[in-house]
Amino acid sequence: MAGSKNILIVEDDVMIRDMYKAALEAAGYKVGIAGKATEAYKLLESFKPDCILLDVMLPETSGLEILNELRKNPKLGCQNTKIIMMTNLAEKEIRDKAIEGGVDGYVIKSDIVPKDLLKIVPSL
């Protein structure tokens, strides 16, 4: 994914979201943020990400449901966008569902620090 410049972070924890955003912006990425599905879908009307960092546990709609919508709804323009599912749930069932849904990466948030994203995102 070399050359990727636009990243969308869908994360409801403001502290985590802000840390990820700061690390990515410091590295030159343009970052959009959303705390829930409706915000993400609205932002996608004008912001075209190269990569989406998608939390599993979100208010209203799970990250797995958002993943499914992103992959199947051509109006959102993300059918081929790189998507990294991010969670603190190290459950095989969730990881397997994410893989079945077409996720490009799966990261346990407690296993990384924000600067690790600078290695993960370009590796896709």
Q: How far apart are alpha carbons 13 and 19 in whole angstroms?
A: 10
The answer on pLDDT for 23 being more than 90 is yes
Q: Where exactly are the structural domains of the chain?
A: 6-118
The answer on pLDDT for 1 being more than 50 is no
The answer on pLDDT for 123 being more than 80 is no
**Other Cβ atoms within 10 Å of 43 Cβ, number:** 16
Just give the CATH number of 6-118.
Answer: 3.40.50.2300
**Long-range residue pairs from 17-26, CB within 8 A, at least 24 positions apart, any chain:** 19/114, 20/53, 20/114, 20/117, 22/114, 23/114, 23/115, 23/117, 23/118, 24/114, 24/117, 24/118, 24/121
Mean predicted lDDT score pLDDT of the chain: 91
Kindly report, residue by residue over 100-122, the tens digit of the pLDDT.
999 999 999 988 888 888 888 87
